[in-house]
Amino acid sequence: MKRKRKEEGGGASEEGEVVWQTPLNPPERQDYIFREGRRYVAPYHFEFISHVKSRWAGKTIVDLFAHEFKGRPYEYYVSAVECGRIQVEGRVVPVSYIVKSSEKISHFVHRHEPPVTSHGVSILQKEPDVVTVCKPASIPVHPCGQYRKNTVVGILQAEHGLAPLFPVHRLDRLVSGLLIFARNASKADLFRQQIEGGLVQKRYIAMVVGEFPENELEVNVNINYDAREGRSTAEAGDPTCDTVLLKGKAACTKFTRISTNGTHSIVLCEPVTGRTHQIRVHLQFSGHPIANDMLYLSEQRTNRSAEGMVADKAVGLSSESSVSDIRQNDKEEEPCIEFSTDPMCTNCPNLAPKGYDGSEEGLWLHCIRYSGPGWVYECPYPDWASLG
C-alpha cells in the first residue's frame, strides 16, 4: 500500500508530506502521459531498498552511493543523507556513517521512467489460464532497470486489470510480437516443463541484409553472452575437439527464406535453443544480419546504414515502424499535464530521465508463433514484413 512519510528536509507538498511508492503499488491508468507518439510515466516518489553487500561494508554511506551509483553527483548524495532521503535500517544517519554488511538501505527518489512507444499492447487471446498479447517494440516485458510501470506487465495491469501474470517466455525490449502469459503459477510451471523438455516450437520473422540462401540454413554455433557489454558473440570451432575451449553455450537456429528483393530478405527463424540474442547473433554469423540491428551489423555495414534503420543506438528507444497488422491505434494525445516536481530531483522538470533521446526504432525481428502439445498461439505479421 502507499504510505506517507514526513520529509525532514522538505518535501513535494506545502506540508512536506510525500506519498512514497514501493513495488507493491500497482500501476494505474492515470499514471501514463501520452505525447508525440510516446508513452511516459508521470514521475513518482519511490523507495528503493537494497542490502549492503560484503564489498560495500566499511565505506561511508555517501562514498558507497557515489562509487556504486554514479548517475547522480556526489553533492546530491550528501544532501540526500543529510535530509533523510537515504536511510540505514529506517533511520537517518550522518554522512560519515560506516555501513555494515547486510544492513538495509533505503533510497527515497523521485523516479522518472524511460518512455516507450505509445502503441497499445493488443490482447490476442484471453483464456481462463492464459493471455496472449502482441508486444510493440521498445516496451520491456516486466520490471527491470529503470522500467517498472512502462512494461507490458504494468500496462496490462493498469489498462486491463490483468494480474497476476506469469511470462511464459521473454522478448528483448527491441523485439515485437507474440507474448504468452500464464494466469496462475501451476499453468506457468506446465509451460516451463514443456519448454525445458524441448516440446515447444518457436517461430520469428526478420528482415535481413542481402539475398538470403534459398535452401534452409541451420546454424549450430555456440553463443557467449557478455553481461557487461550487453551483447553476445558466436564461437566458431569444433566443440568435440579437446584443443578447443568454447566458453559459450550450444545454440541452434534454423532459417528459411520467405522472400527477397535482392537487397533485403524476409526470413523465418526457428530457434531450437534459447540463448540471449541467439537469432540476432546467428543471423550475423550467417552473413545476413538484421537490417537495422546496429549492435550486430558489421562496422562497414553500420557506416552505410541509412538514417531511420537504426536500433540499439542509444539507451532510449521508440518504435513506430514495427507496428502489427492489428491496427494498434495510438493513444489520444493529452494536453499538457501537470506533474509534481521535486526540488532534490536531478531529472526534473523533464518527464524522461537523462540520456533518453527516443531516436531509436525497434528491431526488424518479430515473434509470430509458439506451439506445444495440444496448443498453438500466433501473432499477425508486422507491416515491415512485406518487401513489395
Catalytic residue annotation = 172
CA separation for the pair 325, 170 (Å, rounded): 21
CA separation for the pair 178, 158 (Å, rounded): 20
DSSP 116-165: EE-B--EEEEE-SSEEEEEEPTT--SS-BTTBSSSSHHHHHHHHH---S-
Count the neighbouring beta carbons within 10 Å of the beta carbon of residue 332. Answer: 7
CA 247 and chain centroid, separation? 26
Q: How far is CA 52 from CA 22, 85, 98, 104, 146, in A?
A: 19, 17, 11, 7, 20
Of residues 277, 282, 254, the one with CA closest to residue 363: 277
Asked if 366 and 175 touch (Cβ cutoff 8 Å), the reply is yes
Of residues 13, 384, 369, the one with CA closest to residue 204: 369
Dihedral (CA of 75, 347, 108, 227) sign = negative
Q: What are phi and psi of 332, to 5 degrees?
A: -60, 135
Please list, in sequence order, all residues whose beta carbon lies within 8 angstroms of the beta carbon of residue 77, skipping any fewer than 6 positions away: 62, 65, 66, 86
3-state SS, residue 4: strand
Asked if 267 and 258 touch (Cβ cutoff 8 Å), the reply is yes
